[in-house]
């Protein structure tokens, strides 16, 4: 489960850049809403190009450099993982509801 912590909208002039940093347990999604963006991640041999309506998600700690090939608009959504007990609570409730029951059921084929 991820909880949205904040959103950001930006417009970059052509040939300008913006650096985004994702902390531990944070997921950062970038959606290009207009123009063209080039995404460069340190340590990743492949760069990513985004055009209008395309999205990229940085799902682990690190940073990404956004370079505007043309004038571009983008929307950034940051999500932070919920704390462990909150994140796992739905699994516990589901297990209690669907878990093994001792109501005389002995399995299929018997």
pLDDT in tens, 28-81: 899 999 999 999 987 888 889 999 999 998 877 788 899 999 999 999 988 876
pLDDT in tens, 20-39: 888 887 888 999 999 999 99
Range of the domain at 10: 2-96
pTM above 0.85, yes or no: no
Using the CB atoms, write b or e for 48-74: b if 16+ within 10 Å: eebeeeeebebeeebebebbbeeebbb
Nearest partner of 69 among 29, 42, 34, judged by Cα: 34
Residue 103 lies in a domain: no
Mean pLDDT lowest among 49-53, 80-84, 104-108? 104-108
Residue 106 lies in a domain: no
DSSP secondary structure string, 1-53?
Answer: -EEEEEEEEEEE-TT-EEEEEE-TTEEEEEEEEESEEEEEETT-S--EEEETT
Residue 107 lies in a domain: no
Number of domains in the chain: 1
Q: Which two tokens stand for residue 100?
A: 């093994």
Tell me the C-alpha distance between 51 and 97, whole Å.
Answer: 45
Tell me the C-alpha distance between 40 and 20, whole Å.
Answer: 11
Tell me the C-alpha distance between 81 and 15, whole Å.
Answer: 33
Residue 109 lies in a domain: no
- Residue whose entry in the numeric block shows the structure tokens 């608009």: 73
pLDDT in tens, 6-19: 788 999 999 999 99
Residue 108 lies in a domain: no
Flag whether pLDDT at 108 surpasses 60: no
Residue 60 lies in a domain: yes
CATH number at residue 73: 2.60.120.10
Residue 32 lies in a domain: yes
Flag whether pLDDT at 1 surpasses 60: no
* Predicted local distance difference test score (pLDDT) of residue 23: 82
Residue 104 lies in a domain: no
């Amino acid at each position: 489960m991820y909880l949205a912590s904040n959103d950001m909208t930006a417009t970059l002039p052509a040939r300008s850049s913006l650096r985004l940093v994702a902390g531990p347990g944070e997921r950062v999604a970038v959606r290009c809403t207009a123009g063209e963006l080039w995404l460069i991640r340190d340590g990743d041999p492949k760069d990513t190009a985004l055009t209008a309506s395309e999205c990229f998600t940085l799902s682990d700690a690190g940073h990404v450099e956004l370079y505007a090939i043309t004038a571009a608009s983008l929307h950034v959504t940051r999500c932070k993982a919920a704390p462990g007990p909150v994140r796992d609570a739905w699994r516990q409730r589901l297990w209690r509801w669907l878990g093994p029951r001792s109501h005389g059921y002995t399995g299929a084929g018997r």
